Amino acid sequence: MQILQARDYNEMSELAAKRVIDQIKSSPQTTLGLATGATPLGIYQRLVEDSRKNGTSYRQVSTFNLDEYVGLSPEHPNSYRYYMDQNLFSGLDIDKARTHLPDGMAEDLEQECIQYEEKLKKAGGIDIQLLGLGRNGHIGFNEPGTPFSSRTHVVELDDSTRQANRRFFDSLDEVPTRAITMGIASIMEAREILLLVSGDKKADILHRLLEEEVVESLPASVLKRHPQVTLIAEEPLLSGHKRVTCP
């Protein structure tokens, strides 16, 4: 795991956005794996700005998001499809048909998971995957204890995750109890992964990630087994840690 220290949120966003933009310029047919939550907003803002200013084109880019809430329609302001449309896709020349999120409204959720994996495979896999870090160590919505062998599946969200995401909703009752998420094995197949960590609330979990063994009770720890992961974190969160280099 390569570790990049960023001075602050802006620099973290800048470094990650630059990596994505460089990739798209050198390979216009890139497939991106995308995340939601507060962390990647600065990156998306920069991608949109760069596209407007410098004309970077996303016409041939495909995207796959990590996850979606079960029961929220694309028009629901808290659905991840809505988030992606608002914060990224509407600002780019991307072909909407090439943007993929699991369908949380699907009648047959199990079938939806299988189809999502098939689409991912057909697209040739993910070139760069953006990842945030849940406060309990989840990646996507793979909660602690999720098998590392998991593929796209339906999850029951942990209470702590619902509490953490409550800030985006009017009340806790409105936070869905289930989601569809790409599995850990699906995420690990990405050719390159950028893990972004920002904010005081992530200090404890980042400390655990850097110090603990690779265990299923800490889903993000699996990333230490991936050959091409870059952790970009704000400097204060990294101070006092030995640099981690893992196979």
Give the phi and the psi of residue 191 in degrees, each rounded to 5.
Answer: -70, -30
Instruction: List residues with catalytic annotation.
Output: 67, 136, 138, 143
Q: Which is nearer to ligand GLP, 66 or 70 (CB)?
A: 66
- Residue 69 Cβ, how far from ligand GLP at the closest point, in Å? 9
- Residue 3 Cβ, how far from ligand GLP at the closest point, in Å? 18
Distances (CA, A) of 81 to 22, 37, 119, 246: 25, 12, 17, 35
What is the Cα–Cα distance from 164 to 136, expressed in whole angstroms? 10
Scan residues 26-45 and list those touching ligand GLP (CB under 6 A).
35-39
Choice from 13, 99, 142, 161 touching ligand GLP (CB under 6 A): 161
Distances (CA, A) of 121 to 22, 97, 149: 24, 16, 16
In the Cβ-directed half-sphere of 159, how many Cα atoms lie within 13 Å?
Answer: 0
Q: Which is nearer to ligand GLP, 67 or 112 (CB)?
A: 67
Scan residues 59-98 and list those touching ligand GLP (CB under 6 A).
66-67
- Residue 53 Cβ, how far from ligand GLP at the closest point, in Å? 26
What is the Cα–Cα distance from 146 to 138, expressed in whole angstroms? 9
> CA geometry: angle at 117 spanning 115 and 118, to 5°?
60
By CB under 6 A, the count of residues binding ligand GLP is 13
Scan residues 128-147 and list those touching ligand GLP (CB under 6 A).
132, 134, 140-141
- Residue 209 Cβ, how far from ligand GLP at the closest point, in Å? 13
Give the phi and the psi of residue 64 in degrees, each rounded to 5.
Answer: -130, 120
Does 232 interact with ligand GLP (rule: CB under 6 A)? Answer: no
Q: Tell me which residues touch ligand GLP (CB under 6 A).
A: 35-39, 66-67, 132, 134, 140-141, 161, 165
